[in-house]
Structure 1
Amino acid sequence: METTTAPAHRALSNGHLLIIVLAQFAGTSLWFAGNAVLPDLVRTLPGLTGWITSAVQVGFVCGTLLYALLAIPDRFPASRVFVVSVALAAVANIAWLLGPVRADNILASRFFTGFFLAGVYPVGMKIAADWFRPVLGRAMGFLVGALVVGTAFPHLVRGLGATLPYRTILLFVSALSVIGGLVLALFIPSKPTTKQPGGFQFTQLSALFRPSTYRPAMLGYFGHMWELYTLWAFAPMLISLYATQHPLARINVSIWSFGTIAAGAVGCVAGGFWALQSGSRHVARTFLAISGACIALVPWLLSLPPLLFGLFLFIWGLTAAGDSPQFSTLVANGAPVATKGSVITLVVSIGFLITVLSIQTMAWLTAHYSPSVWLFYLLLPGPMLGVWAGRKDHSNG
C-alpha cells in the first residue's frame, strides 16, 4: 500500500516496526537456504561449500550496484521495491529444482537469489531509517537481528526436520519470504520518493568517502564483514571439528550452527538498547574487540565441555553480528536524505564484496589443507581493522 503522507511517529514505532522486522526475517531466510541443504548436495557435487555461499554474495553485490546505479531505492516506493524483490528472490531460490541437479544450475539460482536480495536487506534498512530516525540504533538492532535469525533459520529447519527432502525445505523458505513481503507491502507506508531525472550520481557520495567522521564507521563495517559471513558459512565446519573430538556429546551440527548464528540477533537487539545510552560507536567497537578476542582464543577451546564451548560460540556469534546495526546506524545518519537508500545500498555492496574474498580464501584453505580450527585466524584482521579505524572516531553516536 503506497502512502505519501507520514503517520505520526508513534504509529510506526511499535506494531509497524514489528511488521518490518518479521518481513526482514522472512526475506533473509532465503540467504543461507542453500547452505542448509548443502549436506544433501555435496554427496553428488563435492566442493560446493564455498561457492554456494559466494554465489549469493556475488549476486548480492551485483544487485546492490545496479540498484544504486539506477537509484531504485530512492526513485520508487520502498515497500513496493521490497515486495517485488523478495518475490523474485523466492522464485530464484527454487528455480534450480525445475532442472537437473547440476552445479551450474544451483550456482545460477543462488546468484539470482542474492541479486534480488539487494532489494530486501538494504531497502528494509532504508524503511527503518525513514521512519525511526530518533531511535534508529534500536530499530536497526531489531532489523539486523531479524536478518541474523532469518539467515540461521534454514539450519533450524534442517536440524529439526533432518529427514525432510531438501526440496520441501527450499519451497517452505520461499513461501515464507513471499508472505513476509506481502504483509510489509500491505501495512507499511512509503515515504514520498525523490524523483531523479537520471541515474544515481556517485559524486553525491564524495562527502562520505572523503576523510570524515563517518569514514571510520564504514571501515569498521568492512572489517566486521570480513569476519561475519565467513564465520556463518564455516560454523558447521568448526562445530564438526568439535563434534569429532567429543563423540559422546552427540552434537547436532545443524542445531548448533543455528544457535551460533542466531545468537547474533541477541547481540543486535541488546546492542540497540545499549546504544541509546552509550552511543552506536562505542557499542560497535566493543563488540568488534570481543569477537576478535574470540577468534584469537578459538584454537585453545576445543577441549572445553559442550556446555562451555556452546557458551563460547554463543558469545562469538552474539558479538560478531551485534555491531552490524550500529555501523548501519552511523552510515545511515551520515547519508544525504535524498540519496540515503542508494548510499546504504552501495556501502552494503562493498561490504558483501569483502565477504566473497574472505569466504573464497577460507574455502581455498580448507580445500588445500585439512580442515583446522587454526584457519579461523584468517578472520582476525577484520576486527583488528575495525577497532583501529574507530580509535579516532569522535562522531556523535
Structure 2
Amino acid sequence: MTAWRRLLLAMVCGVAVASIYAAQTVLDPMGHDLGVAPGLTGWIVSTGQFGYLVGLVLLVPLGDVADRRRLIAVHLAVTAAGMVLTASATASWVAFAGLAAAGMFAVVVQTTVAYAASVSSPGERGRDIGVVTSGVVVGILGARAVTGALTELWGWRSVYVVLAVLSLGLAALVLAVLPTEERSGRPTGYVRAVTSIGGLFRQRLFLSRGLIAFFLFASFGTLWSGLSLPLSDAPWHLSEGQTGLFGFVGLAGALGAARAGRWADAGRAMPVTGLALGLLILSWAAIGQLTWTLWIPLVGIVLLDFAVQAVHVSNQHLLTTAHPERVSGVIGGYMVFYSLGSALGAASTTALFAAHGWAGSSFLGAGLAACALVVWAVNRRLSVDGATPSGEGTDATPVGDGKAVERAGRAASTH
C-alpha cells in the first residue's frame, strides 16, 4: 500500500459515502422542491441508508468471491447512475429511487476497506484502515461544506451531478492504478458468503462491536442529519452554504482520530473505545448549547467526530484481524449495524426537533452514546471475567487484547 494508493482508496470512500449524506445540508430546499413534508424530510437521508443496508447484505459479500478492484469500479459506476436519477427527478418517488440505488451501491466503501485490509501487511493493517476510513468521514462532513456552496450557486441538483462525475472518474482511476489482489486458497461461494454473515451474529466480538457501532452512528446521525435545522432557525438563520461550513469543523476531529489505527495495531483498541465513547457523551453537553451560542458547540463537534472515528477504526481493525479469510463479509455484516444506526439517527432527530427543539435532539444523541458505552462496559467485564459464550470461534479471544486477536486471526487463516 503506497501513499498514493491509500489516498485513492480514501477518495473512493469519501465520494461514495457523500452520495448518501449530501442531502443532509439541503434537506429544506430539496424537500420543498420535491413536495416532501417538513416532518418527513429526514427520510431523504434514511432512504439512502436503507438502500445501503440492502447492499451490505447482498453486494459486499461479493468481495470474498470476485476481484475487489473490478467490483469497486462497477459499484462506483452504478452509484453515479443513481446520482443522475436523483438530479433529474421531478417527483419525490423518483428521487427516493435514485437515492436508494446510490445508497445500495455506495457499499463500495466496504469493498474498498476490505481491499485495503487484504493487501496490507499485518503490522500496518490498522494504519491503512485508519487512513482509508478517514475518507468516509471526510466524505460525510466535507460533503456538507461543498453541497452548501453548490446549492447556493446552482441549486441542490448540481450536488448530485458533481458526485456522478467524480464517481465515474474514480472508477476509471481504480482500474488504471490499483493492482489485482493476490489471494491464497479457493474463493468462497457467493451463497455461502452471504449466509455466513448470519453466523457472525452469534459471536461475542462481532455482536458487541456491532452494537457499539449501531449506537455510535445513531448518535452521529442525530447531529449531522439534524444540525441544519437549528442553524437555519432562529436566532441564527444561516444559509445552506454557511451551515455547510460546520463540516470543516468536524473534519478536524475526524482526521485527528486517523491515528486510532496505530493505537489498534499496538493492541489498545479496548481502552481507546471506552475513552472515546466517554468523550462522545461529553461532546453532546457542548453541542446542546447551540440555541444560544455557536462557539461551544463547535468544540463539541470536533470532539464528537474524533470519538466516532476512533471507535470506528478500532472496531474494523479488530474484526478484520479476527476474520482474515472473509474480510468483506465481516465488514459488510458489521456495517449493517452502522446503517441501521445512521438511519435511526436521521429519522429520529428531525421528528424530535419538530416536537422538542434542539434540546430533544441533544438528549437523544447523548442517550445513544451512553448506550454504546454500556455495551462496551458489559463486554469488557465479560472479557475480564473470562466468560466465553459458545460458538464464538476466534472471537473467544478477549477483545481488549488487540495483539491476541491478531494472533487468533492469523491462526484461523492457516486452517
Distance 1:206 1:92 in 2: 29
| Post-superposition CA distance 1:292-317 (Å, at most 9, x none) | 1222443346434x444322322223
Whether the 8 Å contact between 1:159 and 1:255 is mirrored in structure 2 is yes
CA shift in 2, pair 1:202/1:103, >3 Å: closer
Go from structure 1 to structure 2 and tell me whether the alpha carbon gap of 1:87 and 1:378 turns closer, same or farther (over 3 Å shift).
same
Kept in 2: contact 1:264–1:318 (CA 8 A): yes
Structure 2 CA distance for aligned equivalents of residues 127 and 352 of structure 1: 20
Quote the residue 1:379 is aligned against.
365
1:144 equivalent to 2:141? Answer no
Q: Alignment partner for residue 129 of structure 1, among 110, 117, 134? A: 117
In structure 1, list runs of 5 or more residues that go unmatched. Answer: 1-11
Q: Quick one: distance in 1 between partners of 2:277 and 2:94?
A: 37
Distance across 1 between alignment mates of 2:132 and 2:255 = 12
Deviation at 1:61, TM superposition (A): 0.4
Distance 1:74 1:251 in 2: 41
**CA, structure 1 residues 67+234, in 2 after alignment: closer, same or farther (shift >3 Å)?**
same
Normalised by the length of structure 1, the TM-score is: 0.85
Q: 2:191 aligns with which of 191, 196, 199?
A: 199
Aligned ranges 1:52-67 → 2 under 5 Å: 52-67=44-59
Asked if structure 1 preserves the Cα contact closer than 8 Å seen for 2:87 and 2:161, the reply is no
Structure 2 equivalent of residue 324 of structure 1: 312
Q: Go from structure 1 to structure 2 and tell me whether the alpha carbon gap of 1:39 and 1:197 turns closer, same or farther (over 3 Å shift).
A: closer
Distance 1:250 1:122 in 2: 33
SS at match of 2:357: coil
Aligned-CA RMSD value: 2.7
Aligned pairs for 1:112-191 (under 5 A) are 112-118=101-107, 120-132=108-120, 133-161=122-150, 162-191=152-181
Q: Say if 1:370 and 1:102 are closer, same or farther in 2 by CA, change over 3 A.
A: farther
Distance in 2 (alpha carbons) for counterparts of 1:289 and 1:43: 38
CA contact (8 A) 1:137 1:280 kept: no
Match of 2:408 in 1: none
**Paired amino acid for 1:379:** G
Helix, strand or coil at the partner of 1:371: helix
1:349 matched to which residue of 2? 336
Post-superposition offset of 1:142: 1.4
Q: 1:227·1:320 contact (CA, 8 Å) conserved in 2?
A: no
Q: Tell me how far apart the structure 1 counterparts of residues 129 and 141 of structure 2 sit (CA, whole Å).
A: 18
- The corresponding residue for 1:88 is 78
Change in 2 beyond 3 A, CA 1:349/1:333: same
CA change 1:260–1:137 in 2 (3 A) is: same
Question: How far 1:348 moved relative to its partner?
Answer: 0.6
5+ residue gaps, structure 2: 384-397, 403-415
| Aligned counterpart for 2:347 among listed residues 360, 363, 381 | 360
The one-letter code of the counterpart of 1:377 is F
CA distance in 2, matches of 1:278, 1:346: 23
Question: Secondary structure, in 3 states, of the residue corresponding to 1:210?
Answer: coil
User: For structure 1, which segment, 125-134 or 181-190, has the greater mean C-alpha deviation from structure 2 after superposition?
Assistant: 181-190
- Which sits farther off after the overlay, 15-24 or 85-94? 15-24
Amino acid corresponding to residue 389 of structure 1 in structure 2: V
Asked if the contact 1:259/1:314 (under 8 Å) is kept, the reply is no
The alpha-carbon distance between structure 1 residues 198 and 131, as it changes in their structure 2 partners (threshold 3 A), is closer
Greater Cα offset, 36-45 or 146-155 = 36-45
Q: In 2, distance between residues paired with 1:348 and 1:225?
A: 10
- The amino acid of 2:103's aligned partner reads G
In 2, Cα distance between the equivalents of 1:366 and 1:374?
6
**In 2, distance between residues paired with 1:202 and 1:237?**
39
1:3 counterpart residue number: none
Alignment of 1:284-363 (within 5 A): 284-300=273-289, 302-304=291-293, 306-335=294-323, 337-363=324-350
**For residues 43 and 210 of structure 1, do their structure 2 counterparts lie closer, same or farther at Cα, with a shift above 3 Å needed?**
closer
**TM-score, scaled to structure 2:** 0.81
Amino acid at match of 2:357: P
Residue 245 (structure 1) aligns with: 235
User: Is the contact between residue 74 and residue 341 of structure 1 (CA under 8 Å) also seen in structure 2?
Assistant: yes
Higher relative contact order (CA 8 A, sep 6+): 1
Quick one: percent identity of the two aligned structures? Answer: 18
Residue 77 of structure 1 contacts residue 192 of structure 1 at CA under 8 Å; is this kept in 2? no
2:19 alignment partner, SS class: coil
Question: Number of residue pairs matched?
Answer: 376
Q: CA deviation at 1:384?
A: 2.0
